[in-house]
């Protein structure tokens, strides 16, 4: 097991990473009151809920099972958590535990941020994506019919338990989607980690515990370093959006859920690499390394064949990262060295967008 401390002064917390943490007494150590509410979903609860409950014999434990899916991440389903907490008379010393992927984590975290103006919560992420991404940074919230993640709070967990063992039940496609975010951390921040990923991608996909533990640790560490420098997302934190502006356009164009988020980010990162090369920053050899690693992770590298540059641009310009109508993108000066910039020739962007559907081809 590895332990990473996210350093945020009086809101610092540990992330534990390893195999079998669901059955570890670590969980109970981070519950400070007598009451616990575990929130999970219909897919995850049958697999793992009882193991968590077994670790909490000394506490008064209630559970709430939500339907599984991003479409339930709304105020109505958030209110089900409040209903359960009030029904069971949970007080300000209660601890909420999120057992599930990003949706369960975001909703439970926001419920914890808001219930009686803030109670403790623990994250037990069960997808690779949520282990490396939504467990760090304190972003919580729900969607609104008119926009994703529009209602929420910054609220840090008191602990995160990332059990690599639970990934065995994850569909292979979702493991790959999580790997897209892992690759991202190498690309924006750490060439050495990128090199390590090139050498270990097969072990990761085969769910070697040691490799997974290291990858999750380093990804969380990079995100934690970036977030600690910029908790409220005004500057450097924007680097975490590498590939996301292209990716969101793909997700929106294809309808949410057709492409997994990580898959769209995978294709988006290669588009960012392509544009970085057209700007003269990244060598064609490096673009090829990016392409190869994304392929090795089991991810798509070509944008959908039917997407035109105009469609891309229209969808990209409604992204939150757009200020005053100018598209800002995360691009790369080198592998491991990213920047946020508007300083690229729009003609080059057009070329990348036009090439997007063919980027998978050598």
104 is in an annotated binding site: yes
313 is catalytic: no
72 is in an annotated binding site: yes
Residue 93 or 284: which CB sits closer to a copy of itself? 93
263 is catalytic: no
Q: From CA 13, how far away is CA 256, in angstroms rounded?
A: 33
214 is in an annotated binding site: no
261 is catalytic: yes
Residue 53 or 151: which CB sits closer to a copy of itself? 151
CB atoms within 10 A of CB 204: 23
Q: Least separation, in Å, of the C-beta of 154 and a copy of itself?
A: 6
Q: From CA 29, how far away is CA 314, in angstroms rounded?
A: 49
HEC readout, 332-359 = EEECCEEEEECCCCHHHHHHHHHHHHHC
223 is catalytic: yes
Q: Which residue has the tokens 């934690």?
A: 224
73 is in an annotated binding site: yes
- Among the listed residues 51, 218, 261, 328, the single catalytic one is 261
Q: Which residue has the tokens 């060295």?
A: 337
30 is catalytic: no
117 is catalytic: yes
Q: Least separation, in Å, of the C-beta of 236 and a copy of itself?
A: 17
Residue 126 or 135: which CB sits closer to a copy of itself? 135
Give 79-86 contacts, CB < 8 A, sequence gap 24+: 81/37, 81/39, 81/107, 81/108, 81/111, 81/115, 82/111, 82/114, 82/115, 84/37, 85/37, 85/111, 85/115
Residue 130 or 221: which CB sits closer to a copy of itself? 130
258 is in an annotated binding site: no
139 is catalytic: yes
Whether the CB-CB separation of 265 and 301 falls below 8 Å is answered with no
Q: From CA 154, how far away is CA 266, in angstroms rounded?
A: 27
- Among the listed residues 237, 278, 291, 328, the single catalytic one is 237
340 is in an annotated binding site: no
**If we measure between CA atoms, which residue out of 247, 191, 200, 260 comes closest to residue 222?**
191
- Among the listed residues 30, 139, 214, 289, the single catalytic one is 139
Residue 229 or 284: which CB sits closer to a copy of itself? 229
148 is in an annotated binding site: yes
- Among the listed residues 244, 278, 289, 328, the single catalytic one is 244
Backbone angles phi, psi at 160, to 5 degrees: -125, 130
Q: Least separation, in Å, of the C-beta of 80 and a copy of itself?
A: 11
Residue 75 or 168: which CB sits closer to a copy of itself? 75
Q: From CA 132, how far away is CA 128, in angstroms rounded?
A: 6
Sites of contact with a copy of itself (CB under 8 A)? 75, 79, 82-83, 86-87, 91-92, 113-118, 139, 141, 144, 146-147, 150-154, 232, 320
Structure-token pair, residue 77: 């389903």
CB atoms within 10 A of CB 173: 12
248 is catalytic: yes
205 is catalytic: no
Q: Least separation, in Å, of the C-beta of 86 and a copy of itself?
A: 4
51 is catalytic: no
- In the annotated binding site for NAD(+), the residues are 68-73, 102-106, 126-127, 139, 148
- In the annotated binding site for Zn(2+), the residues are 181, 244, 261
Indicate which residues carry an active-site annotation. 117, 139, 181, 223, 233, 237, 241, 244, 248, 261
């Amino acid at each position: 097991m590895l332990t990473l401390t996210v350093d945020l002064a009086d809101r610092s917390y540990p992330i534990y990473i390893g195999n079998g943490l669901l059955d570890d007494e670590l969980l109970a150590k981070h519950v400070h009151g007598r009451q616990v509410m575990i929130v999970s979903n219909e897919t995850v609860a049958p697999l793992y809920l009882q193991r968590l409950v077994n670790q909490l014999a000394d506490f008064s434990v209630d559970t709430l099972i939500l339907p599984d899916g991003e479409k339930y991440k709304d105020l109505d389903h958030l209110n089900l958590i409040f209903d359960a907490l009030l029904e069971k008379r949970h007080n300000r010393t209660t601890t909420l535990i999120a057992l599930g992927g990003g949706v369960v984590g975001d909703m439970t975290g926001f419920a914890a941020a808001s219930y009686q103006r803030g109670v403790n919560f623990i994250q037990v992420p069960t997808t690779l994506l949520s282990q490396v991404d939504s467990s760090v940074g304190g972003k919580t919230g729900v969607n609104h019919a008119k926009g994703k993640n529009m209602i929420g709070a910054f609220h840090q967990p008191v602990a995160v338990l990332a059990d690599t063992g639970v990934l065995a039940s994850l569909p292979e496609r979702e493991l790959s989607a999580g790997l897209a975010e892992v690759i991202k951390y190498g690309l924006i921040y750490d060439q050495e980690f990128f090199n390590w990923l090139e050498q270990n991608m097969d072990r990761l996909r085969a769910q070697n515990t040691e490799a997974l533990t290291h990858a999750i640790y380093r990804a969380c560490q990079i995100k934690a370093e970036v977030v600690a420098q910029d908790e409220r997302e005004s500057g450097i934190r924007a680097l975490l959006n590498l590939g996301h502006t292209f990716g969101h356009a793909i997700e929106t164009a294809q309808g949410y859920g057709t492409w997994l988020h990580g898959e769209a980010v995978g294709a988006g990162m290669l588009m960012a690499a392509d544009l970085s090369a057209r700007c003269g920053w990244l060598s064609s050899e490096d673009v090829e390394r990016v392409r190869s690693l994304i392929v090795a992770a089991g991810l798509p590298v070509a944008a959908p064949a039917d997407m035109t540059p105009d469609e891309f641009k229209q969808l990209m310009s409604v992204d939150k990262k757009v200020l005053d109508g100018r598209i800002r993108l995360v691009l790369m000066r080198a592998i491991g060295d990213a920047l946020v910039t508007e300083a690229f020739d729009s003609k080059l962007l057009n070329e990348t967008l036009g090439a997007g559907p063919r980027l998978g081809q050598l």
